[in-house]
Amino acid sequence: MLVPGHPLDFLAAVRDALAGSGPALLPVLAGAAEPLVGDVPKRVAVVIETSGSAGVPKRVMLATNALLAGAAASTVALGGAGQWLLALPVHYIAGVQVLVRSIAAETSPLVLPPGHFDPQNFRRLAETMTEPLRYTALVPVQLARLIDAADDPALLAVLRRFTAILVGGQAIRGELIARAEALNVRVVRTYGSSETAGGCVYNGVPIGDTLVRVVDGQLELSGSVLAEGYLDDEARTADRFLVEHGVRWYRTGDLGEVDPHSGRVTVLGRADNVIISGGEKVSLDAVEDIVRSHPGFEQAVVIGGDDEKWGKVPVVVVAGGEGAEVDLMASIVAMLGRAARPARVVRVAEIPLLTSGKPDRAALASNMGAWHKELGRPGPNNND
């Protein structure tokens, strides 16, 4: 185990792990409880601990070959090796991959100090980049803050100098991508996970030797970037990784589609984030996408709540007190049907987050009963 101090110190440890001259690394959040680590296969360089969307801990074992394959595929897809600005923690796979890509490119990454993401701090650091090709990796909320602050000409100029800004980790609103494009800021939407050594699909197109297929509505991925499995968890490894006709596949748990002509991949949401409301299937991710497109609801979360009549109903949880609920409900009904209409909107002081930065849906769901009592029965039901 290694608790990263300064990421550039961690960079040296990653280099040794990739070369096989140092031990496998488990980067963890500073101050977190110390995890127990068992023996790992010699080919494993990094173990990523992640709670996942459902909050269930897992430790993903990544071999040197998988990490370097991900870095190489990214370099080809982006148009060449360059310098990286590290704006994500190195206990995220996206943060580790910034270091791996820097090692492969033989360039020195610049590191944004931890803490609150400030667009001006980002600008000042990015202005010191020296390589002709420049990259960074962000989560959607960081990109949103940069775009919101892009009325500053100096910041906008810096953003435009990036060869590519990778954005992933969670769904990104189409409206945010459109705003970036209108400003001539090149954003690359990435899809992947710790189990695929980071993003392996860029703007819907698989990179490197990644293959994507759909089985029973769920996306499965294959290629050199696949993890070895889960540390000390053979049952979960067997459930998620399978070999078929000599090809190893990873079951993502994400609903999706692959265009039969172009091969373009569309991610529709988590397979485990679907409820049955009044006998109809409702994707909470699809509802959430529409909700987040409305002013005042950009960071809202949609979860499933119990309902005596309909079984389950969508519930919108949002921090703050702004946003027109009537227009929101009308949009959802028009696009997804009446079964998808949220039963209520719950306003909270803040949305709890996992260490990955994603909303803690389990914590929100655990509060549902208290909110239900406090608010009483909702008004018009989603299927009324």
Query: Among 30-44, 158-172, 345-359, which stretch is predicted with the lowest mean pLDDT?
Result: 30-44
The pLDDT assigned to 115 comes to: 81
Bridge partners of 50, per DSSP, are 58
Domains of the chain: 7-266 (3.40.50.12780), 273-375 (3.30.300.30)
- How many angstroms separate the Cα of 226 from the Cα of each of 21, 252, 342? 22, 11, 37
Query: Among 28-32, 124-128, 178-182, 285-289, which stretch is predicted with the lowest mean pLDDT?
Result: 28-32
The pLDDT assigned to 378 comes to: 40
Q: Which residue has the tokens 């705003």?
A: 179
Q: Mean per-residue pLDDT for 156-164?
A: 98
- pLDDT-derived band at 275, boundaries 50, 70, 90: confident
In whole angstroms, give the CA distance from residue 222 to residue 241: 10
Q: Mean per-residue pLDDT for 9-32?
A: 84
Residue closest to 384 by CA, chosen among 343, 325, 328: 343
* pLDDT averaged over every residue in the chain: 87
Q: Mean per-residue pLDDT for 19-26?
A: 89
In whole angstroms, give the CA distance from residue 367 to residue 309: 20
Element (H, E) at 198: strand 198-202
Bridge partners of 206, per DSSP, are 201
Examine the pLDDT at 372 and tell me if it is beyond 60.
no
Query: Among 69-83, 217-231, 364-378, which stretch is predicted with the lowest mean pLDDT?
Result: 364-378
- pLDDT-derived band at 382, boundaries 50, 70, 90: very low
- pLDDT-derived band at 86, boundaries 50, 70, 90: very high
Q: Find the angle CA(28)-CA(32)-CA(37) to the nearest 5 degrees.
A: 55
Burial, 229: exposed, middle or buried (Cβ in 10 Å; 0-12, 13-18, 19+)?
A: buried
Examine the pLDDT at 377 and tell me if it is beyond 50.
no
Query: Among 9-23, 31-45, 186-200, 357-371, which stretch is predicted with the lowest mean pLDDT?
Result: 31-45
Bridge partners of 315, per DSSP, are 303, 344
pTM for the structure as a whole: 0.80
The pLDDT assigned to 326 comes to: 81
In whole angstroms, give the CA distance from residue 71 to residue 200: 10
The pLDDT assigned to 375 comes to: 44
Residue type, 47: V
Element (H, E) at 61: strand 58-63
pLDDT tens by residue, 227-270? 999 998 999 999 999 999 999 999 999 989 999 999 999 998 88
In whole angstroms, give the CA distance from residue 284 to residue 106: 43
In whole angstroms, give the CA distance from residue 348 to residue 370: 12
pLDDT tens by residue, 115-143? 889 999 999 999 999 999 999 999 888 99
DSSP per-residue codes, 81-128: --EEEE-S-TTSHHHHHHHHHHHHHT-PPEEPPSSS--HHHHHHHHTT
> Could you give the percent of the chain with pLDDT greater than 90?
55
- pLDDT-derived band at 370, boundaries 50, 70, 90: low
Q: Mean per-residue pLDDT for 105-118?
A: 91
* Pairing outcome for strands 265-270 and 311-319: unpaired
Q: CA 116, 118, 121, 122 torsion: positive or negative?
A: positive
pLDDT tens by residue, 324-352? 788 889 999 998 988 899 988 998 888 88
Residue closest to 344 by CA, chosen among 308, 311, 304, 309: 304
Residue closest to 142 by CA, chosen among 157, 128, 123: 123
Examine the pLDDT at 274 and tell me if it is beyond 70.
yes
The pLDDT assigned to 189 comes to: 96
- pLDDT-derived band at 9, boundaries 50, 70, 90: confident
The pLDDT assigned to 376 comes to: 41
Residue closest to 307 by CA, chosen among 335, 287, 279, 277: 277
